[in-house]
Structures are given as structure tokens and as C-alpha cells.
Structure 1
């Protein structure tokens, strides 16, 4: 047995769906506007997890060009039946009063793919999941939305039978559960355990009132009774708990017959979760009335999980990424779309990542930007960029990025009076600023750039030789690179991005030699 500290997937890894196939465990999480879509982590011991693949790797499966921040891929569901992996996901185009949400299914014989072209399911709402019943029949459960005045915008959970031969849902959708008094009912998962069908749903909204509720029925189409003492897990009204925002959960049975539950969570610093929404895990037992409960009692998320496996938890990450392979390292993603050779090249200069400058950091179309998640409160990120800007519309550098309306950008650029300069572009909820005076770097064509985070503080550094680093500007506010700084429809997390802009439209290029990511705590 090994005690595992929560969260098990640190940094932006929300809406977990867990699956066991034999001795292998997989967790799929949401990726929103980041491409490729859906992260799948793998583990043998529920202790150490490795990012394995991202299945939605082509535009025919995932077209997000023009999608706003925190839209794109929501709440995947990963299942397996008779030699086939199934992945359901939502592509969200709008997330305000009207929610334009389209649900799809892809399949694969191997978890690493290739994954099929998508099968369209419906557009009732979001968070679809696929349930494989014991009799071989399959069902899709989805939350449904309602935009009308006087109606709940989260209108309940609908059930449809899915016909794999026809490649579509068959029959009329049936509303099987309206939710509890907590409201905001979403993220449904169905299970057939013993004589009951259990329905788990996320409720309360995905911020500090988040929760996971349970209902059950003898029949798959209801009626469903609510679990006494709901919710199963929540942090609401307990700001002292280190694990907050607990909800959006999924169950898995381990090899020894015991149960575990993964769920979304956040770890706030001064009420801001800079690492985004993460994934934790809890031990689950069934009480004498056959309701699932957190082991040890109560519904507060525990900070440790008892894994039945003996394993040594991995330590802090210290990794030096180079660009001498045919593909980007697996930890990197791009915004909204795959970047072709006209934007991103690993061939143009051997051993370097070349980015051809495209649109501004505020664009929801073509950004020449690649990013890696922040997964520790204290970390250092360093890169070297070769760039020869000749206009202020030429920029390249290292960004501390949440979205198009929230970032810091340590950039190498040009000023018509000063010449080549280092400067910081700040965007706070859409308000732009350049808080510090530019630093002249003479005729330099190479710079080393560094970002250091220390919980609520972020610092920026530069070097001309890669040895002596000089802080640029003053300590700055890292809390704003978080969901909590924006509104209740911001759902992603902090990235460190390598970026290049040429807002003249002629594709001025920058070459990046490496990215070094070091966790300090």
C-alpha cells in the first residue's frame, strides 16, 4: 500500500474520466482550446501517471479555429468494451446564454490510436458519457441545457440508447434526472453495480460550490432516487480545506475489488487557483444501504489516497526540452489548431523550433505559439531565442499565459528610437499595459529569457550569455493567471508559451533552442 498525495494530476487537468483495462489505468481530461485535444494519462499503480497521448490530433476530429477562451473540448468520457476504446467529447462553440455544444464519439483498437473519424451524437448539451450495460446494450447520457427565461439552464440528464451498427443514437432521448437542489447538474456517469444503476452527476457549478451527487434506480431509465446525505464529495462552505472545488467525478473498480473515485479540484492561493483545475483521487466504500461514500466518513476531499500498490511516488520535475525530433515533445500543445510548416517547423533549422510570426496574443485564429502547462506553484522556465526584429510589430519570447485576455509576455522586439529591446506586455482581463520601461540590448540577435513563479508572485529575467540573469522589472502578480481572476466561465490554467508575432503579415521567424522546466516545490 502507498499513500498518494492529492492531486495526482497537477496543473490544468480537469473533468477526469477514469478507466481500468486489465492492469492498466487511464485518465482522460479536458483540454478546451488547446490542440491536440483530450489528455490521456496512464498508470499501473494509481501513484505515478505518465502523459500517454492526445487522441484528437486532426482538424476532422476537432475544429476549433475561432473558438473563444475556455470553449473547445469539454469533459471527455473514456470507456472500453470488447477490444475497443471509446472516447466521447463535446466541442463547445459558445458558452454564454446559448450554449452551442456538439457531442461526438471516436473509437480505437489501441489507446494510442489511430482514433477514428468522429461519429456525431447530438447537440442537446455537453458532458456526454457512454455506458456499456451487462446485456451488451450501450447508452449515452448527456446533460441538457435550456435557454428560456424561468427555466433552469442546466435542465437535467437525458438518456439515449446508442446503436453501434447504425452509428447513431436510437429512439427519443428521455429525461431521467433533474438534479438535486444544488442545481447546475452536469457531468453524468452511469454504472451498473449489483442490482442498482448508479448515476453520478457534478452539481453546484465548477467553482467553490462544486459537488458530486449520487442517485440510483433499479431500472436504467428511472425513476432515480437521491442518495441520503448528498453530496458524495464537496468542499463548499469549507474554505479551510486545502482541496477546493471538488466535483465532476468518476468511479473505477480496482483489481482487489475495492473502489476509487477521481474528481476535479483546485488548490487556491489567496483564493486564486493559478494551476487551474486539477485531478484528485479518493478511496470509496459502499455503506450498509449500498450507497457509495468516501472511506473514513464525511464528504470532504482527502489530501491522501491509499493505493493498494507498492510504488515510490515520483519527485519534482526537472526537464530540458530540445527540438531535434520529428515532433514536438508530448507535453507541448498549440492553440486551437495544428500548426503547419508555414507556422511551425522542426526542419528549417536542425535542433531548433522555428516559429513564423503570425497574429497577436489576442487572436483566436492563427497564433504561432506552443505551450507547456505550469504544474507546480514554484517553478522556473528558461528558453533561448534567436530573433532579429526590425519593427515594433515583430515580437518573440516567453509568455506566462492563461488566455487571450490574461497573460504576461516577456518579448524581444524593436523600437524605432531605442533599437532592439526587451519589454513586458501585460494583459489583465483584456486591459493592456507595458508596466516597465524597455531595456535596450544593442545589436543582440540571441537572448535567454526566464520566468520564475513563487506562488502568488511571478518574476521575469533576461540574459545575453545564458550565465548571468538580470531581473526585468519588478515582482508581479501571478494570481491573475487563473480562472478566479476572470469570471465563472474561465476553465483552463497557466501555460508557459514560446511565441512569435509578425503583425505586418510577412512571417518574420524566431528560432527557439530549448525550453527548460524546473519545479522547485
Structure 2
């Protein structure tokens, strides 16, 4: 009996010790953050400040506005007009939603009214590189059926060339109509007899040299929203002069003026030899004859050390302005002092002289200036009353409004898949994908719009393991980027800076921190020099990693077609572990 009682006491003691052990392990797990719930950051605020010297040196006078009109990676602009309303679209590649669309009544003051491809049923880019996806959209208003058409090439989701349409660009666009032709850069032309045509870049039957392309035209069936089989015809072979082996004739648009048809195209590739050229014909199907004055727009002939350099100009579209004068929107770049293109290809505008037979961009064949004269009777309201800002500006966001500004975008998938508005701020639910993967990432991006800028955010966050990380990314693409944020190692919290170049990642610096309060993170760029810093009290910032090069954030280093972006980032697949 005594032995039984002893065994019972021993058993009770063992059970009690087990409970204590389980309770202790539970506490340790809770402290280590292994309780099951995700570590989810809440971003309380974000502020972007543009600080380019050119805008300090060239303040606006009465009747002036700045060029570019859309700073940051807004390339390949296309424009159309209905009455007093102008609508402009740009390429978006694997950004989501796709194809940002802007509205203006005067070509100076622009408002972003949304995105054309804002549903996953219209655009599937979930597993593509950032420079895949949507290329070179064209937008055209057809007055004969009171309908807007947006046509583009989608290098994702098996779409290819597609067209969507709407009666009102503010009220959303149709599902895509898949078009039965190859090639890229399509646009639609509506003739005054009601007929429609599609022109686009395509490969020649036999390439004569590297970069040899052709421009092809099709008749278009408005009832079926499809090109008419057998009507295709090559109308430009190679470019202005095939004997000179011109490269990458692309981005075609057709216009009609004084009974003649004009075909305007980019030529030279979207780099240092980029230009815009023009052809004319008496018939939309050709033959087309090049103008003797080509190119009509380029910046390729000037010294590379010129002041306030604008380069790579081309890929243009024309529209008649409110002063009954023609204007052209086009892409160009503003490299920093190191020759790097971190802001990407931006949208510029110039007046166009079409007093003769052929149009010519005014001051498009001399080094471009940072300011332009406004159309007569227009008041500059950029950055005010909801109009898109340009020049130097400050944009602050506390994430308390009912809607999120259209400037914030996702990558490879909808923003709504990972973000949630709360009373405190913006909660970003981390995906199990890091910033270097070809997958949707839980990152909310804002374009880098200046060579010199400061971006800050304040974040509540406590990572639960080393696989958790949240903070800021400066991102050119999935193989070239910086990640700067908070993670964990054991029971300790760390702030960490990682650089990824050519797909290889390395930790530049890390530091153990106390994380009792929200942390403030800041990235500041001065041309090629970027600095990352943090503050635990919201005021006193401490640098991490010194000054680092922004070279990996440059288009002409990282490749592709996009500019750098700054993202609010979270992941549960972090592999950057502090040493």
C-alpha cells in the first residue's frame, strides 16, 4: 500500500512537472513568436519628398509648367481626346493594377482616374518578371460609336494582343478581346468613313540584320472586335531607310490631316538612339513615304555631359490641344550625375508645329529644357485640387482615408490581396514570398519620381521568427533591389539592410535593437548615393550601412523597362538572417 501511495505521489509530481514544462515551453514559444498567428506590420504613415536641384534652379514663372508631366516610371504614353476631355495611358508591365489612366482638360493639369486593367480577369501577371506584362498601350476614341478603345500587348497569362473598351473611362473597361495577330505595340485608327484599322510592330518574314522589324496594318471588324483575316500588309520595312539598317521601328500611330494619312513611329530602340519618325500616304493601307526631315524628335545627337540632360526621347503620340495647336506626348529619361536611370522612362510633352506638310516637335531636336509655356488661357494647378504633382513636392499618407491613392500599386497581383485599412493605419498581411521571387509579393509600391528624394515610414511590427521581415524595399526588379527592415534572430530583434545584385543577395549591415515602440525607417537618395536609416523614437535617425550605390536601381544597369520603386514590404519567407 505504501509503495502504491509512493508511486501515486511520484506520478502526480511528474504530471505537475510536465504541466510546468508545457507552460514554460508555451511561454517561450509565445515570446519567440511561434504562437501560430502571423507577424503582421501596420504602417502608420508614409511620406515621399522630392528634392531635385533642377527645380530649385528653375522656379516656375507665370504661364509655365514643368516637363516631364508624369515623373517616375510612366513610359510609353498614348493619348486621345473626346470634346474637351483628354485621356492618357502608360505601360505598366507586371505592376498591378495595369495601365494607369489620366484625365485632363488642358494637357497641363492631370488627374489619375484609375487603371484600365484593374481585375485579374483582365490581366494575369502573377508569375512574370516585372518587365513582362503590359507593353505600350494605345488609347483611341471612336466618335462613330462613342466608344473608347485601349489596345495593348500582354506578355503574360497567354493573352498576347488584346483590346478592351468602354463608353466612359471613369466607369471601368470591358473584359479583353484577344486579337489574332503576333507582334507588339498595336494601336487603332478610325477613319472618317467609319472604317477601322490596327497597326503594329512585327517581325519580318526574313530578318536582314539584328533589330530589323516591320510595321504591319490590318483592317479591323468593329462588330467582332477582331482583325480581318487576310487583310494584313507590311507598310514599313525596317524604318525610314532600310539600306541604313534602322532598328526597332515600333509604336506606330496613324493620323489623318488635310486628306492625307500620317504614320508616326518610334525608331532606334528605346535607348540612346531612340527617335520619332513620320511617313505619309494617300491611303491608310499605304504605300507610305518617309518625310525628308526625319527624325522629327530625338535627343541622340548632343553631348552626354549637357546640363539637365534629357535623353532616349521617342515613342510618341499626337493630339490637338485646347488652343487648336498640336501636342505630342512621349517618353524620355533624366539620368542622374552618374548616368544612371533610376527614375525610369517618364512621360514628357512638347508642342508640335504642323504648319507644313509634316509635323515636327518644337524644340524636340535641341537639348530639352525643364520648363514649358502653357497653352494660352491655362492655369497651372499641378499638385493642387487633386491634380497630379510634378516638380518638387511632398506627398504624405496616413492611410486613414476610405480609398488608397492610385499611385500606390502592387506587383503581380491586386493590392487588396494583402492590405487592409485599420484604425491605426495600413496592415500588410505578409505573403510567403520574398522580394526576389517571381510571385506576387506583399508590397505596396510608390514610384521613385526624383533623383534626390527622401522616403520615410512609421511601422508597428514585432517579427516572430527569422523568417519574418517587414520594412522598405528599393526595387528595380526581382534580381536588383535593396531590402531594409526589421527581422528577428532568436529572442532578439534586428534592423537589417540587404543588397541583391544579379540575383545574389548579401547583408550589408545589421544591428540588434530594442523594439518596444513603433520604428521609423527612412531612405534618402542624392543621385547615386542612397542612405538607409532608422529611428526608435521617431526623431533621432541612425544610419545603417553607410552610403550605398543606387546603381542596381538603374534601368541601364539592371536591364528591363521599368524605373525604381519604393515599397512597403512584408514577408514570412525571409532568408536574410543577421550574423
Structure that is richer in helix per residue: 2
**C-alpha distance in structure 1 between counterparts of 2:210 and 2:194, whole Å:** 34
Deviations 1:377-396 (A, max 9, x none): 22211112222213221111
Task: Name the residue aligned to 2:99.
Answer: 38
Aligned counterparts of 2:73 and 2:140: Cα–Cα separation in 1 = 22
Instruction: Name the counterpart of 1:429.
Output: 502
Indicate the structure (1 or 2) with the bigger Cα radius of gyration. 2
Give the aligned partner of residue 22 of structure 1: 83
Which residue number corresponds to residue 379 of structure 2? 311
Correspondence for 1:49: 110
Given that 2:415 and 2:444 are in contact with CA atoms closer than 8 Å, whether structure 1 keeps it comes out as no
TM-score normalised by length of structure 1: 0.89
Where does structure 1 lack aligned partners over 5 or more consecutive residues? Answer: 95-99, 506-521
User: How far apart, CA to CA, are the structure 1 residues paired with 2:120 and 2:211?
Assistant: 30
Identify, as 1 or 2, the structure richer in strand.
1
Q: CA deviation at 1:229?
A: 2.5
Partner of 1:190: 254
Question: For residues 284 and 175 of structure 1, what CA distance do their matches in structure 2 show?
Answer: 28
Q: How many residues align?
A: 493
How do 1:116-265 and structure 2 match up within 5 A? 116-145=174-203, 150=208, 153-172=211-230, 173-178=232-237, 179-180=239-240, 181=244, 182-238=246-302, 239-241=304-306, 242-265=309-332
- Corresponding residue of 1:72: 133
Judge conservation of contact 1:55–1:112 (CA < 8 Å) in 2: no
Pairing of 1:413-424 with structure 2 (within 5 A): 413-416=487-490, 419-424=492-497
Q: Which moved more, 1:64-73 or 1:178-187?
A: 178-187
* Contact 2:333–2:345 (Cα < 8 Å) also in 1: yes
Work out which of the residue numbers 382, 401, 420 in structure 2 matches 1:345: 420
Superposed CA RMSD: 2.3
- What is the distance in 2 between the residues matched to 1:243 and 1:412? 38
Deviations, residues 173-222 of structure 1 (Å, cap 9, x unaligned): 11111122432111010101112111111111101111111111111111
Cα deviation, residue 152, structure 1: 5.2
Select the structure with the greater relative contact order (CA < 8 A; seq sep ≥ 6).
2
Tell me, yes or no, if structure 1 residue 477 matches structure 2 residue 549. Answer: yes
Q: Which residue of 2 aligns with 1:358?
A: 432
Query: Could you list the runs of 5+ residues in structure 2 that have no partner in the other structure?
Result: 1-61, 383-390
Are 2:336 and 1:273 aligned?
Answer: no
Distance change in 2, residues 1:296/1:473 (3 Å): closer
1:373 to 422, 435, 447: 447
Deviation larger for 68-77 or 379-388: 379-388
SS at match of 2:556: helix
Q: Quick one: distance in 2 between partners of 1:267 and 1:501?
A: 33
CA distance in 1, matches of 2:365, 2:161: 35
Q: Taking structure 1 as reference, are residues 130 and 360 closer, same or farther at Cα in structure 2, changes over 3 Å only? A: same
How much has 1:246 moved relative to structure 2? 0.4
